[in-house]
Amino acid sequence: MNQFSTHLLALAPLAILCATIVTVMLSIAVRRHHFTAATMTVIGLNAALLSLLGVLQVTPIQVTPLFIIDDFSLLFGAIVLVASLACTTLAHAYLETLPDRREEFYILLLCSAGGALALIASRHFASLFIGLELLSVPLYGMVAYAYRDRISLEAGLKYMVLSGAASAFLLFGMALLYAASGSLEYAGLIEGLANGGAHQSWVLIGTGMMIIALAFKLSLVPFHLWTPDVYEGAPGPVSAFLATVSKVAVFALLLRFFTLAAPATHDWLLTLMGVIAFASMLVGNLLALRQRNVKRLLGYSSIAHLGYLLTAIVAGGELGTEAVGVYLATYVATTLGAFGVVTLVSSPYSGTDAGALHHYRGLFWRRPYLAAVFTVMMLSLAGIPMTAGFLGKFYVIAVSVESGLWWLAGGIVAGSAIGLYYYLRMMVILFLDEPGESRRDAVSGWGQQSGGIMVLLLAAGVAVFGIYPQPLIALVNAAGMAGG
């Protein structure tokens, strides 16, 4: 196999997504049909996922100076593709009665998923920026897709303006790092800065500005204020996509950057990130306590969980990398399941989603299996033993203790204790007597729908990996370090 064929095989998942985008676009031009567009998207995502088995035969491989395709990028790429597939499944049921054009939604989703794959494999500032923008720009349209609903349009505008500001910070930070080192590659910063002590302040400022931009994308304190509003206003499947695909891609980038780039390992910056992680744990959980909207509650909860995850990067080392992989896998499965239930309760589209707590009161008596799925997801988010969420929490506490970061370990314990209250409150609401007032209900026959089957599989996965986590741990270990 020659070099061109090898590089083409390494980029097969991204190439398949691009081909799927063109195919869906052409099908819309010929004849609009919602089921056809959704089916093509599912087929394309499955093909991209299966192509990862072929890519394993040529990894690790550097494809131009821009991308590194290794086991690390394949693991996080697989998580992105599975999450995108789940969001597509949820979107089909949700958008079925949307009084607007529905097919373009899948083009936006595929473009954003392609940006996530590019971001995960990037090892160069150029591919970093292109991947991040390809991930973010389609999200503006996805968040505001139900634009006839004022809250959705408002959420899309907020996300667009603030995301644009974050991109400006990112570009300025990259410019300062390039000015100091003369290199746009992460690893090249080490060599470029070997004799660049005079530019040390530029390096710290540039790296700090990049961290600000990435902290916005990850909803870390104090760059978190957009999160609950956007999660509440976005359609259910988009909230699930934001909370999973977007977070996985940016966090994988952050982990690779801290592994390869010398400026990112400066003690002062690591301390700053530790403070951000600690604040995110406490602020996210404390603000979630008073929420009366499930999507806002899950939004604040995601802030806390990203704070837990950031602890593993601050701690560093092989165990830190392993902790990130395990925690992200369990977080994605649990969050997809939670937002999946919200989406199914809100399906088909009929205006603002079923987000208020009273919409879920007595759900067990109407849809017992749906309530059971939501209960499993709340237990996992709370980190209760026998669920996958406990495994993730155990890992981040272990890595913080091993590194001597006792204050961060204490923050994880305190944040988890606070979170336990509102997760249990949400579970209790599911089993209360039904109110006399009118309420939203799950789509009829949800168990026979693909979305219902999908959340059942997620709940089963969360329970199985909570009881027998060895396959997941082995998979993460096989991905190795974020080197290259």
Tens of pLDDT, residues 436-476: 444 455 555 544 477 888 889 999 999 999 999 888 888 88
pLDDT of residue 64: 81
What per-residue confidence (pLDDT) applies to 286? 93
pLDDT in tens, 324-342: 888 999 999 999 999 999 9
pLDDT digits (tens, 9 = 90+) for 251-297: 888 888 777 665 555 677 788 888 999 999 999 999 998 888 899 99
What would the pLDDT profile of 406-426 be if each residue is shown by its tens digit?
A: 899 999 999 999 999 999 999
Percent share of the chain, pLDDT over 90: 37
State residue 481's pLDDT score: 46
Residue type, position 150, single letter: R
429-467 CB burial, b ≥16 within 10 A, e <16: bbeeeeeeeebbebbeebeebebbebbbebbebbbebbe
**CB distance 320 to 308 below 8 Å:** no
What does the block give as tokens for 234? 């976005």
Per-residue confidence band for 355, with pLDDT thresholds at 50, 70 and 90: confident
Query: What confidence score (pLDDT) does residue 19 get?
Result: 94
Give the model's confidence band at 97: pLDDT under 50 very low, under 70 low, under 90 confident, else very high: confident
What distance lies between CA 43 and its chain's CA centroid?
22
Mean pLDDT of the chain: 85
**Cβ(152)–Cβ(235) under 8 Å?**
yes
The helix (run of H) or strand (run of E) holding residue 63 is strand 61-63
- Please say whether the dihedral angle defined by the alpha carbons of residues 215, 220, 221 and 223, taken in this order, is positive or negative: positive
Q: Which two tokens stand for residue 11?
A: 């980029």
State mean pLDDT over 85-90: 92
- Whole-number CA gyration radius for the chain: 21
What percent of the chain stands above pLDDT 70? 92
Q: What is the pLDDT of residue 417?
A: 92
All residues at 6 or more sequence positions from 405 whose CB lies less than 8 Å from its CB, including other chains: 274, 311, 314, 315
Handedness of CA 442, 446, 451, 452 (dihedral sign): positive
Task: Provide mean pLDDT across the span 384-411.
Answer: 89
CA distance 96 to 99: 9
pTM score of the predicted model: 0.91
Nearest to 163 by CA among 144, 186, 184: 144
pLDDT by residue (tens digit) across 131-175?
999 999 999 999 988 888 888 899 999 999 988 899 999 999 888
CA 468 centroid distance within chain: 24
Q: Give the least confident one: 10-24, 49-63, 80-94, 326-340.
A: 49-63
Alpha carbon of residue 421 to chain centroid = 24
pLDDT digits (tens, 9 = 90+) for 100-132: 788 899 999 999 999 999 999 888 888 999 999
pLDDT, residue 266, reads: 66
